[in-house]
A and B are shown apart, each in its own frame.
Chain A
Amino acid sequence: MLLIDCPVCGQRSEDEFRCAGQAHLVRPGPPDAVTDEAWSAYLYQRTNLKGVSAERWLHEFGCRRWFNILRDTLTHQILHVYPVTEARRPEETGGGE
């Protein structure tokens, strides 16, 4: 049960949020320029990392805003919380590791 720092509401428990999986998915387009493979990759292919993962989260039982986080899938440490439209930040493994 993670503790997540919602950018609007502050620190809240994971059960107020919903995770929508991998962040920074780029929607291919326009449709007639997209191959079946590229579209299939967009729909189905996801990374499954042991390490720092960028994820998209929604504060469902709260302000209902979306945001991104960088989370270490091994330790569950949350390294960054940043706007959902922002590009992925370079990882600085902050102190304490």
Chain B
Amino acid sequence: MIDLALSSDFPRSCRAAAMVDGLGIFRIRHLPSGPSLRRSGPEALAGLPDCLGVQDRGGAWLASVAPSDWLLLGPASSARSCLDRLGSGLDPALARVFDISASRIVLELDPEREERVLSAYTSLPREQALSAWRCAPTRFGDCLVTFIRRQAGSGILMVLDPSLASYVASLLKRMD
């Protein structure tokens, strides 16, 4: 369990969000990192989500956030086992896994309040971009965050850079 020093900055009383504890977060990158659009990767990547899709992988969630760029997150053990299963299929010469569990903040937005928060701070076409099993790296206020929607009705996950935690918290507090 990570002791996020920034947690004191967090609006724990903020009704818009709650921190998700004990998460494992991994970034998976694959060569080549060229500009090819909607290009399917080699065999090992078949079955992975693409184009901002999200998949449920045995309790962890695998999101395609950009071409050849995935985020895997979930309860630490689920994420780890998913990673092990994936890793066996990935060529280490082509793919790299980065454990960023200690360097991301993940919030879960309260479904009751997400509309107002997203409307205030993003210009996303929410219905398309954040429908079930979709993710969206986008602008939140003035910084980059990644939203991940799992099943319909579930709270959106918001993945952000830890240095921006207090800025995002201030924005959320304004909506309280």
Note whether A and B form a binding pair.
yes
User: In the complex, which residues of chain B have a beta carbon less than 8 angstroms from the beta carbon of A93?
Assistant: none
A-B contacts, CB under 8 A, total: 61
Q: Give the shortest distance, in Å, between A43 (CB) and chain B (any CB).
A: 23
The answer for the CA separation of A8 and B129 in the assembled complex, in Å, is: 11
Interface residues of B (CB under 8 A from A): 34-38, 51-52, 65-67, 69, 123-125, 128-129, 136-139, 144
Chain A residues with Cβ below 8 Å from B66 are 8, 63-65
- Using a CB–CB distance below 8 Å, which chain A residues touch chain B? 7-13, 15-16, 60-67, 83-85
Q: How far is the CB of B123 from chain A (nearest CB, A)?
A: 4
* B13 CB, min distance to chain A CBs, angstroms: 29
CB distance from A61 to the nearest CB of B (A): 4
Contacts of B34 in A (CB 8 A): 85
Per DSSP, chain A at the interface is: loop
Residue of A7, A12, A85 most packed against chain B (CB within 10 A): A12
Tell me if B138 and A12 are in contact (CB < 8 A): yes
Give the distance to chain A from B165, nearest Cβ to Cβ, in Å. 18
Q: Check B129–A9 contact: CB distance below 8 A.
A: yes
CB-CB under 8 A for A12 and B38, given A61-B144, A63-B66, A65-B67: no
